[in-house]
């Protein structure tokens, strides 16, 4: 049992735990657990939080790698960002009625977490609080007004955002009715294929990043936006056709997709942002749409298998090092009278290109 001298408390906020670890009971009167209060206490095995506690701060129990059990009080209202991140031995969590919000990556990389009970009171969940929780099952009351567990995925009801799909294997069919794939929603090491249903309009930042075995993605005609780093480091992705409904692709969306040999861009795309296809080392061909007006910095950097590309006539901006470290045999075709031709005539090259020609 912990002694009160093990806790530094100021005005009800537990600032620092100074005890030896083991099973700990936080004293009555504590209304908040401060940032980093128990962080990296690798001998902590269990925690009983007191009645009256309202808030668990950012990183409060992060990296408590031996922590197995936490008892939460009914007074608890909020769990901060990364509060229990990397608590690798935490096995189960029952959040009491009264909890309203869960912060970003609150339970990230809790690899032993087999289940979590989410009460009806929750009305705010930040971007994937459960990234890396490969064994987790969501227990959500069917009458929950804000959340739903659908085929193993956690989905918000108001805007139909898929928050987390933790343990997809083989071919993953995203549930019908989903409209957005949330930030960092997938971190699935065994998923090879994903099929998105009609109605999905947005793939948010990092949604499929670091899915190392993902080979094929089927995108719906309803898709409008692909976020920053959405497919970053999907090293097994071989090719992709983006529907013409897509109007924006975020920076580094396909960077380090080292097996991608080809991609079909939407006809109305206006810009390719910074680093979008950087380090796509197997990319052999890409046809830029005539609607394109801008190519961002490092957009095709280190695409060493790219041999030929035609820059559209409407292009008015080419960022620095857009084609840097491409193979010396890369030929860039430019239209007469175009911005790209002006660059070629003025500087003898298009920025970042080893070779440019008409």
Per-residue confidence (pLDDT) for residue 347, from 0 to 100: 45
Per-residue confidence (pLDDT) for residue 4, from 0 to 100: 75
User: Would you say residue 124 has pLDDT above 80?
Assistant: yes
Per-residue confidence (pLDDT) for residue 348, from 0 to 100: 47
User: Would you say residue 23 has pLDDT above 50?
Assistant: yes
Nearest to 56 by CA among 85, 89, 92, 90: 85
Would you place residue 260 in the very low, low, confident or very high pLDDT band (cuts 50, 70, 90)? Answer: very high
Burial letters 95-122, b for 16+ CB under 10 A, else e: beebbebbbbbbbbbbeebeebebbebb
Least confident of 267-271, 337-341, 352-356: 352-356
Q: Which residue carries 């019908």 as its tokens?
A: 176
Q: Do the strands 180-181 and 262-264 form a parallel or antiparallel pair, or are they unpaired?
A: unpaired
Q: Are 60 and 38 in contact (CB under 8 A)?
A: yes
User: Would you say residue 127 has pLDDT above 90?
Assistant: no
State how far the Cα of 316 lies from the Cα of 2, in Å rounded to an integer: 67
State how far the Cα of 76 lies from the Cα of 33, in Å rounded to an integer: 11
Per-residue confidence (pLDDT) for residue 338, from 0 to 100: 82
Per-residue confidence (pLDDT) for residue 189, from 0 to 100: 83
Confidence (pTM): 0.90
Distance of CA 53 to the CA centre of its chain: 31
**Measured at the alpha carbon of residue 78, what is the angle toward residues 139 and 181, in degrees to the nearest 5?**
55
Handedness of CA 266, 249, 254, 274 (dihedral sign): positive
Would you place residue 328 in the very low, low, confident or very high pLDDT band (cuts 50, 70, 90)? Answer: low
Per-residue confidence (pLDDT) for residue 100, from 0 to 100: 98
Per-residue confidence (pLDDT) for residue 349, from 0 to 100: 55
Least confident of 236-240, 258-262, 293-297, 349-353: 349-353
Domains, in order of start, for the chain: 1-135 (3.80.10.10)
> What's the pLDDT tens digit per position in 159-191?
999 999 987 789 999 999 999 999 999 988 889
Average pLDDT, the chain: 92
């Amino acid at each position: 049992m912990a002694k009160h001298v093990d806790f530094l408390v100021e005005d009800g906020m537990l600032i620092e735990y100074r005890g030896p670890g083991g099973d700990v009971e936080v004293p009555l009167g504590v209304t908040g657990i401060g940032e980093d209060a128990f962080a990296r206490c690798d001998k902590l095995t269990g925690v009983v939080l007191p009645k009256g506690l309202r808030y668990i701060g950012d990183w409060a129990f992060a990296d408590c790698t031996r922590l197995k059990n936490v008892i939460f009080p009914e007074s608890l209202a909020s769990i901060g960002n990364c509060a229990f991140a990397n608590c690798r031995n935490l096995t189960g969590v029952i959040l009491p009625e009264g909890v309203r919000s869960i912060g970003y990556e609150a339970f990230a990389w809790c690899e032993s977490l087999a289940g979590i009970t989410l009460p009806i009171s929750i009305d705010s969940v930040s971007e994937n609080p459960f990234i890396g929780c490969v064994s987790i099952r969501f227990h959500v009351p069917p009458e929950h007004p804000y959340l739903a567990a659908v085929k193993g995925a956690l989905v918000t009801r108001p805007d139909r955002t898929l928050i987390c799909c933790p343990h997809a294997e083989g071919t993953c069919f995203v549930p019908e009715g989903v409209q957005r794939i949330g930030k960092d929603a997938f971190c699935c090491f065994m998923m090879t294929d994903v099929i998105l249903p009609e109605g999905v309009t947005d793939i948010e930042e990092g949604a499929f990043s670091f899915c190392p075995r993902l080979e094929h993605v089927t995108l719906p005609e309803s898709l409008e936006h692909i976020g920053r780093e959405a497919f970053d480091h999907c090293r097994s992705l071989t090719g992709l056709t983006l529907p013409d409904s897509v109007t924006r692709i975020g920076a580094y969306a396909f960077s380090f997709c080292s097996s991608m040999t080809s991609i079909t861009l939407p006809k109305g795309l206006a810009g390719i942002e910074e680093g979008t296809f950087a380090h796509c080392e197997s990319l052999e061909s890409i046809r830029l749409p005539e609607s394109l007006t801008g190519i961002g910095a490092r957009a095709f950097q280190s695409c060493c298998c790219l041999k030929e590309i035609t820059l559209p006539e409407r292009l008015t901006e080419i960022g620095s090092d857009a084609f840097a470290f491409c193979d010396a045999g890369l030929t860039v075709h430019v239209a007469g009278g175009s911005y790209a031709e002006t660059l070629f005539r003025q500087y003898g090259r298009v920025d970042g290109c080893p070779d440019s020609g008409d």
